[in-house]
Amino acid sequence: MIHKRWMILAATLILLAACNGENDKPSVEEKEPVVDQTAIEEKAEESEKAAEPKEEKKEQETQEVAVAEPQYRVNTANWSVQPIADAAEKVVLVTIDDAPDKHAMEMAETLKNQDIPAIFFVNGHFLDTDEEKQQLKQLHEMGFAIGNHTNSHPNLKDLTEQQQKEEILQLNETIEGIIGEKPKFFRAPHGANTDFSKQLVQEQKMVLMNWTYGYDWEQQYRDAQSLTDIMVNTEYLNNGANLLMHDREWTSEALPGIIQGLKDKGYGFVDPAAIEGI
């Protein structure tokens, strides 16, 4: 009887030990955690998308560098612009002198509406008032290139070297103070350069420019119809022609017809930003 009781007691102890051992084992979740594969894939996609803008930005920067490469250079033989490499040949350059007087903004709107680039050569005596300075700032913000046409529009050949220096550098400072950068181009009034002015312009890393043809200061072309006709049909119109116009009432009126006439003849328009600098 005693022996039988000891056997029952031993069996009970063994059973209790087995139960306690099972309770000590980790659960299935603890031993083998569940992996959310969908969440991992979503995070991977998010990482790829986050990297995409950086790639796009690199491509945009590469394109901007490519656009910044000069496509034209000034030919001092006739002051036209000549293509570099495979740039378009049948083009003209639009320039407006004596700005911003009374019609510069109207002319700028005409050009802007047709996406025509141009250089506005300004004079210091048209930048005396806050309104005139604001007009220059607007021209720059509209995307037009700003050129130096001297402070008071003198004939440089009549001035001393010091006076020439003041005429050019003073206007450079004025323009920079208004738009935040110095002009890239210089055109002497009356096309009258001197050896000194040429040297100074080069030192200032500006592009010396004159013109191929222009007519709006001549008495017989001081109306829109005759000016349009001569600007479009002159024998001097050729590939790369540098067109000189002025901030004048009749020129402003003729400008839409001049642009259309040049387009009808198959001419494109050079962006001044694409002209080779110093």
Domain boundary at 49, 68, 87, which?
Answer: 68
Q: Are residues 146 and 118 in the same domain?
A: yes
Contacts of 258 (CB under 8 A, 6+ apart): 227, 228, 231, 232, 245
Residue 47, domain extent: 35-68
From first to last of its 278 residues, what are the pLDDT tens digits of the chain? Answer: 444 443 444 444 444 344 444 444 433 333 344 444 544 455 545 555 444 444 444 444 444 434 478 999 999 999 999 999 899 999 999 999 999 999 999 999 999 999 999 999 999 999 999 999 999 999 999 999 999 999 999 999 999 999 999 999 999 999 999 999 999 999 999 999 999 999 999 999 999 999 999 999 999 999 999 999 999 999 999 999 999 999 999 999 999 999 999 999 999 999 999 999 96
Q: Are residues 57 and 112 in the same domain?
A: no
Q: Give which of 161, 184, 182, 186 is closest to 173, Cα–Cα.
A: 182
Q: Are residues 45 and 151 in the same domain?
A: no
Whether residue 255 lies inside any domain: the answer is: yes
Q: Are residues 62 and 131 in the same domain?
A: no
Whether residue 61 lies inside any domain: the answer is: yes
Q: Are residues 130 and 204 in the same domain?
A: yes
Q: Are residues 149 and 124 in the same domain?
A: yes
**Contacts for 66-72: CB closer than 8 Å, 24+ residues apart:** 68/273, 70/274, 70/275, 70/276, 70/277, 71/274, 71/275, 72/240, 72/270, 72/274, 72/275, 72/276
Tell me the CA distances in angstroms from 277 to 104, 140, 219, 234, 259, one per residue in order. 25, 18, 35, 29, 26
